[in-house]
Structure 1
Amino acid sequence: MPLWTIHHTPGIFTGDDKNQLASHITDHYEKVGLPRFYVVTLFQETRPEDFYVGGEPAPAGIRIAIDHIARRNPDQETRRRTAQWIRGMLQPHIERHTGLHWEFHVDETSRDLWMINGIVPPPEGSDAEKNWAQQNATSPY
């Protein structure tokens, strides 16, 4: 499961921006074989007086924490491409904001500590995972 938690100050994302970005994120993961329902995107609006960078309030900022569980980047080159993809996807949403501080990081979490609806997700690329992707829902396997 990719979990994107997007902390942002007010005025950065409209409702439509959120919908477009969450859809774009989900589309990418679907293209690499993940069921769409694996992808969770959370937008957390944070007041400027609660958003600090370097010990100072940041009037306009975005901080994104991304957890990858369903798949891992096997090497440095793949990790670099993933970071470039994330940057490229975010840029249309952030380039219109002057003075914006933005950053992201990606954690890769063990699949051993993951369940959806109380079910351990099927192995990567298995027929059961393909079935989940086709149904866009969990099912016993």
Structure 2
Amino acid sequence: MPLWTIYHSPGTLTAGERDELAKTVADFYADVVGLPRFYVMTLFHEVPADGFYVGGEPSGRAVRVVIEHIARRIPDSTARRRAAARLSRLLAPVMERHPDVHWEFHIDETSEELWMINGLVPPPAGSPAEQAWAAANATAPY
């Protein structure tokens, strides 16, 4: 499961931009990575203006994205750099509309052995069971 948690200052991202980002993120993981769409979660947290600091100073306009990868692992340094660049390009269309915004992201990877959905251990990557989950866009015993 990729979980994107997007922290942002008030008024930084419009409702339309939040919708756009959530759809773009889900499309990427479903269409490019091959994950079932329901594996993808995007959470938006507006941080009060007096609660967002960059470099020890209040930041009136900032976005911080925390990306957690569980369903897939990035195998090596070259692939990690490529993934970071690709995800940066994914964020750029929205973020470039706000040149005054400080934005950054990072990716964490967690063991898939510590992950369940609806009480079920997700099927192995690319397996027929995972493909069935993707087609149904829902979990099912396998």
User: How many Å separate the matches in 1 of 2:15 and 2:97?
Assistant: 16
What residue is the counterpart of 2:80 in the other structure? 79
- Root mean square deviation of aligned Cα: 0.8
Question: What secondary structure does 1:130 align onto?
Answer: helix
Question: Is 1:29 matched with 2:44?
Answer: no
Question: What secondary structure does 1:42 align onto?
Answer: strand
What residue is the counterpart of 1:52 in the other structure? 53
What residue is the counterpart of 1:108 in the other structure? 109
TM-score (norm 2): 0.96
What residue is the counterpart of 1:134 in the other structure? 135
User: How many Å separate the matches in 2 of 1:18 and 1:130?
Assistant: 28
What residue is the counterpart of 1:4 in the other structure? 4
Runs (4+) of structure 1 exceeding 6 A deviation are: none
Identity %: 57
Structure 1: runs of 5+ lacking an equivalent: none
Deviations 1:98-129 (A, max 9, x none): 33111100000000100000000001111100
User: How many Å separate the matches in 2 of 1:115 and 1:19?
Assistant: 26
User: How many Å separate the matches in 1 of 2:45 and 2:86?
Assistant: 22
Question: What secondary structure does 2:132 align onto?
Answer: helix
User: How many Å separate the matches in 1 of 2:102 and 2:13?
Assistant: 14
User: How many Å separate the matches in 2 of 1:27 and 1:91?
Assistant: 16
TM-score (norm 1): 0.97
User: How many Å separate the matches in 1 of 2:141 and 2:41?
Assistant: 21
What residue is the counterpart of 2:89 in the other structure? 88
User: How many Å separate the matches in 1 of 2:141 and 2:8?
Assistant: 38
What residue is the counterpart of 2:120 in the other structure? 119
> How many equivalent residue pairs?
141
Q: Please show how residues 60-71 of structure 1 align to structure 2 within 5 Å.
A: 60-71=61-72
Question: What secondary structure does 2:103 align onto?
Answer: strand
Question: What secondary structure does 1:26 align onto?
Answer: helix
Which stretch shows the higher mean deviation, 6-15 or 34-43? 6-15
Query: Following TM superposition, by how much is the alpha carbon of 1:95 offset from its aligned partner in structure 2, in angstroms?
Result: 1.3
User: How many Å separate the matches in 2 of 1:97 and 1:25?
Assistant: 19
